[in-house]
Structure 1
Amino acid sequence: MKNKIAIILFTLLLISCNSKQQENKINKTDNLQKETASKIISKKNESDTVDYQISTFDNPEDADRISRQKESLKRLSEKKVFLNIHNKLIEKINEEQQSFFKKNNNYELLSVAKGSLFQEKSNDFVFTVYDKKNVKISFLFYNEKTAAYAELYKDIKVINGLKDADCDFYSFGTLDYQFADEFLVYSEDYLTKSIETYLQYTSVKITDISKAQDFALKDGCFAKNVSKTNLANTLCLATSAVYNNWECLRYDKTNNTFFIFFGQAFAD
């Protein structure tokens, strides 16, 4: 009888221990899931506070407007206008960059600039291209240090510091859209006849804007709390084919982003 009671007590104790262990496992799992969820929410909230630009070409809100622009871009490409520009510019870049465009023949080169953009004393490149596959204009970068190519908005995010600047600076569309609208779509008829004037105009620069003559810093718009002392290694993109209008970006290697920190409009 005593043996039976001992067996029963041992069985109950074993069941109790197993239940306790199972309960502890469940609690640990719940705590881990809550901790993971908390980290995910925290990370999401942190990224939500950064207002990265979406390329106008990829913004569904502007679908109708972009559709009309794409039709014009496609016509210019089909008429070999972009190819003619490409053939003129490709001769001015080194063999390594020429090889890239030969391998990626869906890109037609429309402008190019070289300089120290991602680090000091480097030979980086920025290319404006027509992407035949996606029927849009894109800005591509070559980082000499990493020997890697990247696309603006897609691989390198953009923050528009002029959006909240105290100077009422506004222009519709992201920089890729503005280039297409000002230099290509607006001039479609003229470009079809001749590309010579287009080739004479510089639409992209890597420069020190405190020393370059094209920039009227006193009359331009600076983002809030931006440093105005070191203005070298600046990427500047023209936003008008008529006026001396520019938007300038600074690269931040800590988070792999470009920050639009200066703009000027209607400056002669």
Structure 2
Amino acid sequence: MARTLDAIISELDPGYAGSRTTAQNQINALPGETQSQLDGLKATAEQSHEDILGGARRRGLGFGGIPIGEQVKYDSTVFKPAVANLYSAQNARRSSLEESLNALYRDQRQQALGIQQTELSRDEQQRQFNENMAFQREQMARQEAEAARDRAAASTAGIGSYFGGGGGGTQAKSGGTAQMSQRGDKGFSFTDANGNAISAATFAKTKGIEFRALLDQMAKAGDKGAAQALGYVGNDFGVNNDKLRQEGRDVSNALYVDQTRKLLNALLW
């Protein structure tokens, strides 16, 4: 998730703090530096005044008083311009340092904005990817559901092709009124014209259809017992007992073989 701008700026801060501190310290030092230079100019001016007075005395003019005119001339032509230049240089230096300091803040913010934009773009790409994956999963789920419905419809249609309609309680086109219906456990029940229970084999004989074809359609409709029985019975309603005996020799298969025999008996009685 993209971070806030303040969080990114804080992370970048160590890389800029040193340069900012240096620039700020230089700004803070300017008044002291200026004052030191100003003191030097004042000392130079005082010395110049003394030199002017000493020169006047050597020329025999000192007894007439301090040569104010020469001192004023010095102040106006040398001292005051020097002081003005000093303050001008200080202001220029301050402006330059403050601009450097501001540039550091701007650069840090711009870099943080770039990082944040990258993170926002990454989040957007991830969001689009997640949406696309969710859409694909929904599409696959719908397709699978449709395929399952198609398979169920095909199974029911297969049963109906034999018995004149859907699987549950369907009446035959010919051969009496024997009926079959699918239970909730996907298995099938069969009844004769009088509503008495009959076996799948009897139903197939009554309808005049192949027994294995009936079992195949039952298996496609979800009857696991019919699918299992297909491995052992033929259209002549005979059971492959040799196969059952062979499988029964393995102790681990004993229960399965016993259940299979019971299943076949239920289908063939």
**Structure 1 length normalisation: TM-score?**
0.31
**Structure 2 length normalisation: TM-score?**
0.31
Q: Which structure has the highest helix share of the two?
A: 2
